[in-house]
Amino acid sequence: MLEIVFLGTGGAVPSPRRHLAAIWMRYSSEEGESFLMDCGEGTQLQLMKAGLSFMQLDRIFITHWHADHWAGLIGLIQTMNLEGRKTPLRVYGPEAERFVDLILELGYWAPRFRVIPVDVPFEGDQETVVYQHPQFRIVSRPAKHSVPAVMYAFQEQDKVNVDIQKAAALGLTQGRVVGALKAEGKVVVRGRTVTLEEVGVRKPGLKAVYTGDTQACPQLVALARGADLLIHDSTYEAQEEDVMHAGAKEAAAAAKEAGVGTLVLTHFSRRYQDVSPLEQEARQVFPRVLSAKDFLKLTLKKGSLDVGDARPPRDKAA
């Protein structure tokens, strides 16, 4: 299960209703962890309002170094320091080493924990594994934007279940033998080696993609292929070449071509007080569309998507 909370859904300039780009994610399992996608201005306040722990964050994935996607890092790192953080924080992004070092040199402060920059390739069109967890991985591809930028995908490991009928036909009838097959990938039965591939049924894991800022491009479709969820830049109704942002219609076209489950539009320009026209524009191309708002909470499971609000009950009426 992947939990997703939109902390900021505005583009370029904040507004009273929309903070700047930041998305919190948590993979729930025995070895789960939480992380951020982008960290715009005010992210730490949004985490507090949503009741989410910033001290448990181990990784922050920055799509690019326009300030509306990273300016919250300074305050967040300083607060972590004041709260006594000891564990390292890894910050991923294109040219991360260059920019993280610059951030840490600003002002008279120095965190007492390690902030580790991890450079992410931003040229070409190849997919790169930037983080490997025992149960999932984060991969990236270069985006098409006015500065070096990347897109990220969360990919859960595929699950392989044993087809009991196939297993029985090969003499695998004992539960412990089947368990050993799943754990080791192969077992020896009656002098014959049986592999998991012979009797296994593969179930694809969850996949969620976040574009950051980008125009329509082939590498986006490649990254989003078969995703359960695509979170897409939708700054304007239509793509605007001079600022290199996709529009709602282009986001929908990418979702359709990639065969995704649900499209979520975000990063809206403050020119739109009402984003429903953008959603309607997208629905003309792709039917399963949501418009993100601050504190939108999504719970993604294979075959289902629950929609909620991350704010405590007392704050929802505000």
Q: Of residues 68, 213, 228, 233, which has the active-site annotation?
A: 68
b/e burial code for range 52-73 (CB count within 10 A of at least 16 → b): bebeebebbbbbbbbebbbbbb
> Read out DSSP for 14-71?
--SS--BSEEEEEE-STT-EEEEEEE-TTHHHHHHHTT--STTEEEEE-SB-SGGGTT
d(CA 109, CA 66): 23
Contacts of 197 (CB under 8 A, 6+ apart): none
Phi, psi of 52 (to 5 degrees): -105, 140
Rounded CA-CA distance 235/272 in Å is: 9
- Evaluated on CA atoms 181, 186, 187, 193, the torsion sign reads positive
Phi/psi zone of residue 57: left (φ > 0), alpha (ψ -120 to 50 degrees), beta? Answer: beta
68 annotated active-site: yes
Closest CA to 231 of 121, 153, 283, 287: 153
Rounded to whole angstroms, how far apart are CA atoms 29 and 42? 29
| CA pair distance 119, 318, nearest whole angstrom | 40
- Residue of 228, 295, 239 whose CA lies nearest to 263: 228
Residue 302 token pair: 């294979």
- Active-site residues: which are they? 68
